[in-house]
Amino acid sequence: MDWNTLFFVILPYVALALAIGVTIYRSVYRPFSISSLSSQLLERRQLFWGSISFHWGITIILTGHLVALFIPQSIVLWNAQPLRLYLLELSGIALGLWATAGLAILIWRRVTVGRIRVVSTPMDYVVLALLLVSLITGVITATVYRWGSYWFTGIFTPYIWSILTFRPDAAPLATLPLTIKLHVFNFYLLALAFAFSRLVHIIAWPLGYLLRPWQIVIGLRKARVVSQE
């Protein structure tokens, strides 16, 4: 077996199977462990700036990746005019830098704020490092190997569908530059870490709030003793 098959055929199936299997196990047998284990009570100012930038940036970027996967024709048509292609690529790079700046704040916070450090596990650092690699290699790919939004649909859309439909064909990836391979390989490492880390909170959509009955919260305060004199 060659490295290409190991990294881009075997690894994706192992990573996806573990991500799905262990997440289902956790949801059924340890439902309260599906959480991001918020540390907002320990520090909130850096969290605000880091979390907002990182989450908005990465969500929009990954939505773009999904559009290229599910409706590649829309990207090809959009890119038919050079101005629109430049706009898409520049927006992608700007969002990538925004998300990276947010992640840098989150990493700095976790390393320098004593109270956050105490509640951090080695897996928290692993996940932050993997996310950083994803963002940096993504921005390098978008900047150095232009025009990614165009060739994504020609190389990665068929590749990912070949994996999802159990007819794996990773041959087109074999000759790609190392940075792009690392970008994809690193995604599978994140998928491997998914179910064993805080990343699992991604599946926790708080939809229950829409359906559950009203909840009335009543605060209890000590009654003030009023003098009768």
Residues that bind ligand HEM (CB under 6 A): 58, 61, 64-65, 89, 92-93, 96, 134-135, 138-139, 141-142, 148-149, 152, 156, 160, 183-184, 187, 190
Q: Which amino acid belongs to residue 189?
A: L
Least distance CB 108 / ligand HEM (angstroms): 19
Q: By the 8 A CB rule, do 110 and 124 touch?
A: yes
Measured from the CB atom, the residue of 64 and 72 that comes closer to ligand HEM is 64
Residues 162, 106 contacting (CB under 8 angstroms):
no
Residue 128 C-beta: closest distance to ligand HEM, Å: 12
Residue number with CB closer to ligand HEM (42 or 60): 60
Cβ distance to ligand HEM smaller for residue 96 or 116: 96
Three-state helix/strand/coil letters over the chain = CCHHHHHHHHHHHHHHHHHHHHHHHHHHHCHHHCCCCCCCCCCCHHHHHHHHHHHHHHHHHHHHHHHHHHCHHHHHHHCCCHHHHHHHHHHHHHHHHHHHHHHHHHHHHHHHCHHHHHCCCHHHHHHHHHHHHHHHHHHHHHHHCCCHHHHHHHHHHHHHHHHHCCCCCCHHHCCCCHHHHHHHHHHHHHHHHHCCCHHHHHHCCCCHHHHCCCCCCCCCCCCCCCCCC
Q: Min. distance of Cβ 96 from ligand HEM in angstroms?
A: 3
Contact between 103 and 131 under an 8 Å Cβ cutoff? The reply is yes
Q: Which residue's Cβ has the minimum distance to ligand HEM? A: 148
CB of 131 to ligand HEM, least distance (A): 7
For ligand HEM, the closer CB: 58 or 128: 58
Nearer to ligand HEM, 53 or 149 (CB): 149
Token output for 97: 């830098």
Task: Compute the least distance from the CB of residue 134 to ligand HEM, in Å.
Answer: 4
Min. distance of Cβ 60 from ligand HEM in angstroms? 9
Nearer to ligand HEM, 87 or 119 (CB): 87
